[in-house]
Amino acid sequence: MVTRNRKPSRAVLQTLLNVTKTILATFLGNIVFGKPYTVNLNHAYEELEAIVEQVSVQLDIGCVVEDLER
């Protein structure tokens, strides 16, 4: 995600997380997912999983920072 020298809001990160999880769920419903000949599909799934992980960490960090500021 690229921003203009500002951090994305929690709402934006949450939306990104939800949309990415929805896309991942559609991959799991694909009958060819996980097959060795679907290299691109499998790779895309792995990249989306990494995005979910990164955004989840960002959201967790944001919560901790907000708690510390209170």
* pLDDT score, position 37: 84
Answering whether pTM is above 0.75, one says: no
**Contact call for residues 17 and 58 (beta carbons, < 8 A):** no
Of residues 4 and 15, more confidence is placed in: 15
At residue 37, φ and ψ (nearest 5 deg) are -85, -5
* Structure-token pair, residue 27: 């991959």
* pLDDT score, position 18: 92
* pLDDT score, position 48: 93
CA-to-CA distance for 68 and 47, rounded, in angstroms?
A: 32
State the CB neighbour count (10 A cutoff) for residue 55.
21
* pLDDT score, position 29: 83
Tell me the pLDDT band of 3, cut-offs 50, 70 and 90.
Answer: low
* Structure-token pair, residue 68: 């510390």
